[in-house]
Amino acid sequence: MFFNHILKLSQLLCLVVSMFLMLPTAQAQAEIPTYLLDQDEHLVVNYLHRLVDNPKEPLNLISDLANGEWRKIHLTNGDLLIMPGNNWFAFKLKNNDKEAKQVYLEIANQVRMSNSQLYILDRLQRMQQISLVLRRSNNRSSIITIEPYSQVTLYLTISSETQLRSRVMIYPAKAYLAESNTLNFHQGLAIGGLLCLSIALMLLFFATGDKPIFILFGYFLSNTLMLSAMLGFNLFYLWPNLPELIGIELPLLTAASAIFLLIFTSQLFNLKSNFNIVYQVIRVCFWGLLLYMPLSIQLSVVDNINISMGVYALILLSLIVLGLYLYQKACRLALLFSFVMFVQLAFVLIVIGSVNWFDIGFVAHRNFLYSLIFWLNGLLVIFIMSRQYRYQIGDKQKAQRQALASAVASERAQEELLRLQTQGQEELEERVQERTLELNIALQELEEANHELEQKNTLDELTGLFNRRFYDQKILAEYRRSKRNLTPLSLVLIDIDHFKAVNDTYGHLAGDQCLVWIGQHIKQSLKRSTDMAFRYGGEEFCLILPDTDSKGAVVLAEALRESIVKQACSYKEIDIPLTISNGICTYQQQDDVLPEQIFAGADKALYQAKHDGRNQTQECKNVLE
C-alpha cells in the first residue's frame, strides 16, 4: 500500500511537469516532424504525442493534427514518458534516395506495456498496421520499407496500466546491425561474467565443502538469472505466445535472491548461536518469502514489480539496521556489512525511482545501469566474504602462535621438573625410611581403630555425624599426627543458639529435625576428606580440622554460620530460623599442650561467643590460659 501511494504521487508529479512543459505550445498548430534517412546512425529527435485516450480510428487521426490536442515535446536520447492509458505518437520518415530503404523502429520496455500498435500512412493515404516483434532485450522492433523519393507517416499507440519509461528509436539497417552487435557483446559480458563467477563459487564449494560458499553460489546464480530477465532473456522472450509469462520470473528471482541473502547473513554472523532471537526473525522472513513466491504468480506484472521491489528494499533496510546492531555488539564485519547493504539499497532505490517512476532519462542506458549495479553488488559481497576469510586466517595463525608458545613453555617446564626431580631424588630416598616408620605406626593405629569400629558404632543415629566416642579417638590421633608432622590442628565447637526455646515452642520432633538440618549444613561445609564433624552431645557439634591454621578455621566456621543464617529450617511447612555460635582453638605446637586443653580453649571461645550475643565466631588466643 505504501509503495502504491508513492507510485501514484510520482505519476501525478510527472503529469503536472509534463503539462507545464506543454503550456507554451498549447495554442500552436502541431506539425509532424520529418526525419531524413540519409545517415547510418540512429535518429533521436522530437516527437508529437498525446497523453489522453482517443477512441477514433487511426485513419481519422490525420484530420486532427491541426487541433490543440497534440503537443510537441523534445526528449533526450529518445527517452519517452508513458502515462497510464493510451498514448499516441506521430512522426514522418522521408527517403530522398533513388533506392528503397529499410529502417528499424524499436520500442523499449515492452514487457510492462499492455499493448502497442504501429500504423503507417503512405503517400497514397493508405493506412496499414505493422506487427512489432519482441527482441530479447525486452524491446519490440519492426522493419519499415520506404520507397525512393517518398515519405510515410507513422502513428504509434502505446497502452499502459501504469506510468513507465520507454524509448523509441529509428535505426537504418547498418546502424541497427551495429547496435545489435554492441548490445549482444555487453549483455554477454555482463551475464556471462556473473555466470562464470557463480560456477567458480560452485566448484569452490565442491573443493572446500564450506556452506557459506554454497549460499553465495545460490545468491549469485539468482542474481545472474534476474539480470538476464531484466536484459531480455526471460520466459516471455522464449515463449512470446504465452502472455501470462510476462514478468513472472522477476518476483521469483527477487525472492530467491533475498532468501539467499538472509541465509548468508545468518551464516556470516552465526546468528543461530549468538543472537537466537534475530535468527528466528530471519526464519520468519525466509518462510514468508517462500510463501510469496507461488502467490506472486497470481498477481499482475505491475503489482509484482511494486511488491518485489518494495519487499527487497525493506529487507535491505532491515539488514542495515541489523548490521548497526551487531556493530554495537562488537561483531566483526558488521559495519562493512551495513555499508554494503546500504549501497545495495541505494541501487534498488535508483532502479525504483529513476528508471521506473520519474522522468530522469535513464532508459537509453538501462542495460548498462543494470549490469553495473549487479556487478558492483557482486564485488561488494565477495569483498565481505574475502574479509571474513582474512579474519579466519588471522585467527588460525594467532592460535598456532599461541600453541607454539604453549609448547615451548611446556618443554621448559618439563626440563625444570626433571631438574627438580633429580635434585629431590636423594632427599626422597632419605625420607623413605622415616615415612615407612610413620606408616607402620599409622597402620597400627588404623588397625586399632578398625578393631574398635567393629565393636562400637561410630556414627550418631540422628544426624549421621560421628559420635562422641569416635571424637575421643580421633582427637588423640590427630593430635599425635600434628605433633609429629609439625602441622597446625584446629578444633571448632558449635552450639545452636536458643535450642531449648525451639523444643519448647515447636516440640522435640521439630528439634530433632533442626539437628538433622544443622548436621547437613556441617557436612556440606567440609571440603576435604581429612576434615571430620562430630555430634558432641545434645545441640553441640565439633569439627576437627587437621593441617588448618586459625585463619582457615575462622573462614570455614564463618561460612557455615552465614549459610545457616541465610535460610530457615523447614518443619511441616513451618520455617524455623536458627543461628549458631562457634568457638575455635588452634594447636600450633605449643609446649605442654594436650588435646583436653585444645578442647577447653575452643569451649572457652564458644562461651565468649554466647556471652557476646550469640550468632558469631570467637577464637581462643592462648590455649594455655
**Predicted pLDDT of residue 611:** 92
Q: Which of 137-151, 227-241, 301-315 has the highest mean pLDDT?
A: 301-315
336 in Cβ contact with 384 (< 8 Å): yes
Judged by DSSP in three states, 95 sits in strand
Query: How would you classify residue 163: left for phi > 0, otherwise alpha for psi between -120 and 50, otherwise beta?
Result: beta
Give the range among 47-56, 77-86, 253-262, 368-377 with minimum mean pLDDT: 47-56
The answer, yes or no, to whether residue 29 has pLDDT greater than 70, is no
Residues 172-196 have pLDDT tens digits of 767 677 766 776 676 667 777 777 8
**Predicted pLDDT of residue 33:** 60
Residues 6 or more apart from 178 whose CB is under 8 A from it?
none
The answer, yes or no, to whether residue 545 has pLDDT greater than 80, is yes
231 in Cβ contact with 370 (< 8 Å): yes
The mean per-residue pLDDT over the stretch 588-594 comes to 85
DSSP state of 36: E
492 in Cβ contact with 605 (< 8 Å): no
The mean per-residue pLDDT over the stretch 525-547 comes to 91
Q: Which of 155, 37, 180, 177 is nearest to 100 (CA)?
A: 37
Q: Which helix (H) or strand (E) holds 623?
A: none
The answer, yes or no, to whether residue 400 has pLDDT greater than 90, is no
The mean per-residue pLDDT over the stretch 155-167 comes to 71
117 in Cβ contact with 84 (< 8 Å): no
**Predicted pLDDT of residue 514:** 93
88 in Cβ contact with 50 (< 8 Å): yes
**Predicted pLDDT of residue 518:** 92
The answer, yes or no, to whether residue 393 has pLDDT greater than 90, is no
Give the range among 18-27, 63-72, 273-282, 526-535 with minimum mean pLDDT: 18-27
Q: Which of 213, 217, 210 is nearest to 194 (CA)?
A: 217
**Predicted pLDDT of residue 578:** 92
**Predicted pLDDT of residue 61:** 53
Task: State the amino acid at position 467 in one-letter form.
Answer: N
The mean per-residue pLDDT over the stretch 316-340 comes to 85
Higher pLDDT, 502 or 166: 502
The mean per-residue pLDDT over the stretch 63-84 comes to 57
Which residue of the set 427, 539, 562, 573 is catalytic?
539
Integer CA distances (angstroms), 95 to 146, 150, 272, 425, 471, in order? 7, 5, 70, 116, 128
The answer, yes or no, to whether residue 363 has pLDDT greater than 60, is no
Q: What percent of the chain has pLDDT over 70?
A: 71
Q: Which of 472, 486, 470 is nearest to 599 (CA)?
A: 472
The mean per-residue pLDDT over the stretch 33-37 comes to 61
Q: Which helix (H) or strand (E) holds 492?
A: strand 489-496
Residue 157, C-alpha cell as written in the block: 499507440
The mean per-residue pLDDT over the stretch 467-478 comes to 89
The answer, yes or no, to whether residue 4 has pLDDT greater than 60, is no
**Predicted pLDDT of residue 65:** 47
Residue 543, C-alpha cell as written in the block: 569439627
**Predicted pLDDT of residue 580:** 93
**Predicted pLDDT of residue 520:** 93
Judged by DSSP in three states, 462 sits in coil
Residue 307, C-alpha cell as written in the block: 511488491
Q: What percent of the chain has pLDDT over 90?
A: 16
Residue 448, C-alpha cell as written in the block: 586399632
Give the chain's mean pLDDT.
75
Integer CA distances (angstroms), 510 to 495, 507, 514, 516, in order? 17, 5, 6, 10
Higher pLDDT, 223 or 413: 413
pTM of the model: 0.47
Residues 548-584 have pLDDT tens digits of 999 999 999 999 999 999 988 988 888 899 999 999 9
Residues 241-265 have pLDDT tens digits of 655 555 667 777 788 888 888 888 8
pLDDT confidence bin for 364, thresholds 50/70/90: low
* Distance between start and end Cα atoms, the chain: 94
Using the Cα atoms of residue 614, residue 616, residue 621 and residue 622 in order, give the sign of their dihedral.
positive
253 in Cβ contact with 225 (< 8 Å): yes
> What angle (nearest 5°) sits at the alpha carbon of residue 402, between those of residues 396 and 404?
105
346 in Cβ contact with 335 (< 8 Å): no
Let me know if 137 is exposed, middle or buried by CB neighbors in 10 A (0-12, 13-18, 19+).
buried
pLDDT confidence bin for 522, thresholds 50/70/90: very high
Higher pLDDT, 73 or 259: 259
Residues 6 or more apart from 172 whose CB is under 8 A from it?
37, 39, 40, 41, 42, 101, 102, 103, 104
pLDDT confidence bin for 7, thresholds 50/70/90: very low
Active site residue 539: yes
